[in-house]
């Protein structure tokens, strides 16, 4: 673009005040991807993606059930949601999308096992479990899933006594698992098996409506990677502007973004949001201090405060 960088930034400055807000989505999708991208240590943007368009986003301090529920409540429940198993999501899903089935990303399930075993396990049990986790990525049919489950259960049975070994801490005298990392890896797969979320993409009823992806690769590559690239290209932005940049990117990749003139008329600004917060705080202060009919007697009506102590002899 012609002109210097400072001229361009000066012309764009007024638009940084606008907050692009996510739309309500009433269309029912066959599947929806959900994931979160961290802007900083205590700032995460939770995003829902249809595979073609961004459906919604929500800014939070962490991935918790309240934040996830706020995101999901603006989107019509799909048939399947594909997730990496972020904290708090399942609780929010049960509240907002109780009838939606869950497909846990198989690649993230493999990565979780690899974190425990490392990519070069020293123990034979760890090497075998890592190979089983890798095989999870190649399951493409019901027979493959059955064969994988049998292979995993056989591993659990063969190494059960080995994983049951315990060690006594000389200082505290407490018992703990000798091979605790392998125990945790087994527990992570057991949870997914018990919840039946590993092979939802092979469900015959769901496949009739269309195929279901087994991983969150679409949102990782189609959204998260693009956002990270944008933030790298614009290094030096403040935390607030990084958040707004993510909001703008998400909004412009929704299915039907408004025109520039409509955005200026509809979307809130910093001042609008500040006024809204002031109104909420004022209402909260007023209702909490002014007695109403049926309220108890206010202590300050019968007593006067004093800066001097009155409890001394």
Tens digits of per-residue pLDDT, 187-234? 999 999 999 999 999 998 888 888 999 999 999 999 999 999 999 988
pLDDT at 1 over 60: no
Euclidean distance between CA atoms 65 and 87, whole angstroms: 7
Model confidence, pTM:
0.83
pLDDT at 300 over 60: no
Q: Which band of pLDDT confidence, cut at 50, 70 and 90, is reported for residue 313?
A: very low
**What's the rounded Cα separation, in Å, for the pair 20 and 257?**
10
Give Cα separations from 66 to 21, 60, 90, 170, 265 (angstroms): 18, 9, 11, 43, 30
Would you give the DSSP letter of residue 299?
G
Residue corresponding to tokens 């070069």: 120
Higher pLDDT, 185 or 12: 185
* Between 308 and 135, residue with greater pLDDT: 135
CB-count burial class (<10 Å; 0-12, 13-18, 19+) for 57: buried
Burial track 112-122 (b if 16+ CB lie within 10 A, e otherwise):
bbbebbeeebe
Mean pLDDT throughout 286-307?
Answer: 60
Return the SS3 of 54.
strand
* DSSP-derived 3-state class of residue 37: strand
In which band, very low, low, confident or very high, does the pLDDT at 303 lie, cut at 50, 70 and 90? low
Distance CA 56, CA 47 (A): 6
User: Which residue in the block uniquely carries the two structure tokens 């679409």?
Assistant: 218
Average pLDDT, the chain: 88
Separation in Å, CA 250 to CA 5, 49, 163:
25, 10, 46
Convert the pLDDT of each residue in 143-185 to its tens digit: 999 999 999 999 999 999 999 999 988 788 888 898 999 999 9
Work out the burial of residue 25: count CB atoms within 10 Å of its CB; fewer than 13 is exposed, 13-18 middle, 19 or more buried.
buried
User: Of the candidates 25, 20, 38, which has an alpha carbon nearest to the alpha carbon of residue 72?
Assistant: 25
Q: What is the pLDDT of residue 31?
A: 94
Q: What is the pLDDT of residues 28-50, one digit of tens each?
A: 999 999 999 999 888 999 999 99
Taking residues 59-85, report their average pLDDT: 92
pLDDT in tens, 127-140: 999 999 999 999 99
The model's confidence at residue 15, banded by pLDDT at 50, 70 and 90, is: confident
What is the sign, positive or negative, of the torsion defined by CA atoms of 133, 223, 60, 237?
positive
């Amino acid at each position: 673009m012609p002109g210097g960088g400072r001229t361009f930034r000066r012309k764009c400055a007024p638009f940084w005040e606008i907050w692009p807000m996510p739309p309500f989505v009433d269309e029912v999708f066959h599947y929806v991807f959900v994931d979160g991208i961290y802007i900083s240590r205590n700032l995460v943007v939770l995003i829902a993606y249809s595979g073609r368009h961004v459906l919604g986003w929500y800014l939070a301090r962490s991935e918790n059930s309240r934040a996830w529920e706020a995101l999901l409540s603006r989107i019509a429940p799909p048939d399947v949601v594909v997730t990496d198993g972020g904290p708090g999501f399942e609780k929010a899903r049960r509240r907002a999308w109780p009838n939606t089935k869950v497909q846990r990303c198989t690649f993230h399930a493999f990565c979780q096992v690899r974190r425990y075993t490392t990519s070069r396990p020293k123990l034979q049990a760890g090497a075998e479990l890592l190979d089983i986790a890798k095989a999870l990525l190649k399951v493409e049919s019901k027979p493959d899933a059955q064969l994988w489950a049998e292979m995993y259960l056989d591993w659990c049975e063969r190494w059960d006594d080995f994983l049951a070994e315990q060690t006594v801490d000389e200082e505290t005298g407490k018992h703990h698992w000798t091979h605790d990392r392998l125990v945790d890896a087994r527990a992570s797969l057991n949870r997914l098996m018990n919840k039946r979320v590993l092979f939802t993409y092979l469900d015959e009823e769901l496949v009739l409506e269309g195929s279901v992806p087994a991983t969150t690769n679409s949102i990782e590559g189609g959204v998260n990677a693009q956002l990270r690239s944008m933030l790298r290209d614009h290094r030096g932005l403040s935390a607030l502007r990084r958040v707004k940049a993510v909001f703008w990117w998400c909004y412009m990749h929704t299915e039907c973004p408004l025109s520039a003139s409509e955005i200026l008329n509809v979307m809130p600004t910093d001042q609008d949001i500040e006024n809204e917060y002031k109104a909420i705080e004022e209402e909260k202060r007023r209702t909490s201090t002014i007695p109403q009919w049926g309220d108890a007697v206010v202590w300050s009506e019968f007593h006067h405060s004093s800066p001097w102590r009155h409890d001394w002899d």
